[in-house]
Amino acid sequence: MGRIKSAMVKRASFELLELGIEFKNNFAENKKILGNNTMPSKKIRNKVAGYIARLKKAEKAENK
């Protein structure tokens, strides 16, 4: 039940991935990539970084 993400987090994540930014499958590294200035708040930044990490892990597992 804790993995449900809002539409805003999903939309922002997909838009950032389409920009061609090289994200990792690690939450901490994605958080550093997003930085403090790109997101409106720290809470949103962390949610987006975590969701992108989940997407990258799923993509990596799918390609194996």
Q: For 11-63, what is each residue's pLDDT tens digit? A: 999 999 999 889 999 999 999 999 877 788 999 999 999 999 999 999 999 88
Distance CA 6, CA 33 (A): 21
Of the pLDDT bands very low, low, confident and very high (cuts 50, 70, 90), residue 9 is: very high
pLDDT at 1: 60
pLDDT at 32: 93
Residue 64 falls within a domain, yes or no?
yes
Structural domain span for residue 64: 29-64
Helix (DSSP H) and strand (DSSP E) numbers for the chain? 3, 0
- Please give the tally of structural domains in the chain: 1
Residue 21 falls within a domain, yes or no?
no
Residue 62 falls within a domain, yes or no?
yes
Distance CA 24, CA 56 (A): 7
Q: pTM of this prediction? A: 0.88
In this structure, are residues 33 and 23 in contact, taking their beta carbons and an 8 Å threshold? yes
pLDDT at 4: 83
Residue 1 falls within a domain, yes or no?
no
